[in-house]
Amino acid sequence: MRIHSGPTRSLRSWLLSPPVIILAILALLGLLAPFVSPFDPTTPFPGEKLQPPSVRHWFGTDPLGMDVFARVLHATRIDLPVALLGVLLGIAAGAPLGALAGYLRGRLDGVLMRVTEVLQAFPQILFAMAMFAALGSSLRNLVLILAVLNVPVYLKMVRSSTLPLRESEFILAARGAGHSTASLVLKHILPNTLVPVFAQFSLSCAYAIQLIAGLSFIGLGVNVPEAEWGSMINLGASHIVFGQWWPSVFPGLAVFLTSYALNGLGRRLERALAG
């Protein structure tokens, strides 16, 4: 008997792909950060400010004397979970609303489309700044802002997938069997519209990582001394011209690698789901 190794080889290629490897390493380093680095990410060493990379401080120290390597690792514990949670909340709110709007149409659909158009008319960074001005700067509000920014994306995506399903045979059969609107939307329509959502998820997380870093860079979101890549870049940016590049370059590389890995994973998912 010949055993087909196609699925096994396909799974192995996924697990060994650069995006998955990079994300796995980042997640593992974030989980093991207290054991990998002997330094506390928020403890400064006043006598060791802006020390270059060395055996003692692998990524050097920042202008406050904090260990850059420890801060890069611990920042993974903030950036990745906040991005994931914000996008997941956006999906949890946007996907059901999109399915409901696409199925019912009418006034509800019109109102939701106008609201999403208004939200998407604002540049996201300006919208986030306005939300922070109204709500205050905190991790909870940062997650809320990411969720609000992602709701229109997934609402419109699921709505567009729902429209062709409204008159499908299985929907007509379920409607004829007496299923309520909520049951039709949640049990029959929504599960059949999630393919593009899976492909978009990691791409949204990649953009969320960049937005978190961008907001923290301008002083919103996560502030020093908490370890976050964007605030770390901002803290060391003014010292690059003096040749002290390490406080900004290493967290910048972390943002780049995370965004690259999430974008690559999203493209692979998109190709796999399309095929």
Which among 167-176, 179-188, 254-263 has the top mean pLDDT?
254-263
pLDDT of residue 153 exceeding 90, the answer is yes
In order of start, what are the domains of the chain with their CATH numbers?
A: 59-274 (1.10.3720.10)
pTM for the whole structure:
0.89
Over residues 23-45, the pLDDT tens digits come to 999 999 999 999 998 899 999 98
Tell me how long the chain is: 275
pLDDT at 4: 46
Q: Which two tokens stand for residue 150?
A: 């992602």
Least-confidence region, from 61-65, 163-167, 255-259: 163-167
What DSSP line would sit under 136-191, residue for residue?
A: -S-HHHHHHHHHHHHHHHHHHHHHHHHGGGTT-HHHHHHHHTT--HHHIIIIIIGG
Q: In whole angstroms, what is the distance from residue 244 CA to residue 61 CA? A: 10
Over residues 98-116, the pLDDT tens digits come to 999 998 888 988 999 999 9
Separate counts of helices (H) and strands (E) for the chain = 12, 0
Q: Are 273 and 200 in contact (CB under 8 A)?
A: no
Q: In whole angstroms, what is the distance from residue 177 CA to residue 172 CA? A: 9
Q: pLDDT > 70: what percent of the chain?
A: 93
- Indicate the average pLDDT of the chain: 87
If pLDDT is split at 50, 70 and 90, which confidence band does 273 have? low
Over residues 207-260, the pLDDT tens digits come to 999 999 998 888 887 888 889 999 999 999 999 999 999 999 999 999 999 999
pLDDT at 132: 87
> If we measure between CA atoms, which residue out of 101, 271, 88, 92 comes closest to residue 189?
101
> If we measure between CA atoms, which residue out of 244, 247, 258 comes closest to residue 212?
258
Place of tokens 């976050």: 228
Residues 6 or more apart in contact with residue 192 via CB below 8 angstroms: 161, 165
Q: In whole angstroms, what is the distance from residue 91 CA to residue 147 CA? A: 8
If pLDDT is split at 50, 70 and 90, which confidence band does 187 have? confident
Q: In whole angstroms, what is the distance from residue 38 CA to residue 18 CA? A: 28
Over residues 120-151, the pLDDT tens digits come to 888 888 888 888 888 888 889 999 999 999 99
Q: pLDDT > 90: what percent of the chain?
A: 54
Q: Which two tokens stand for residue 161?
A: 């997938």
* Residue 45 falls in which region: left (phi positive, over 0), alpha (psi -120 to 50) or beta: beta
Q: Are 34 and 41 in contact (CB under 8 A)?
A: no
Q: Are 247 and 236 in contact (CB under 8 A)?
A: yes
If pLDDT is split at 50, 70 and 90, which confidence band does 1 have? very low
Angstrom distances, CA of residue 56 to CA of 60, 96, 124: 8, 52, 40
pLDDT at 2: 44
pLDDT at 8: 62
pLDDT at 3: 43
pLDDT at 252: 95
Q: Are 50 and 56 in contact (CB under 8 A)?
A: no
pLDDT at 9: 61
pLDDT of residue 5 exceeding 70, the answer is no
Least-confidence region, from 57-71, 85-99, 140-154, 188-202: 188-202
What average pLDDT score do residues 165-180 get?
A: 79
Angstrom distances, CA of residue 83 to CA of 45, 80, 149, 154, 203: 31, 5, 12, 15, 11
What is the chain's Cα-based Rg? Answer: 23
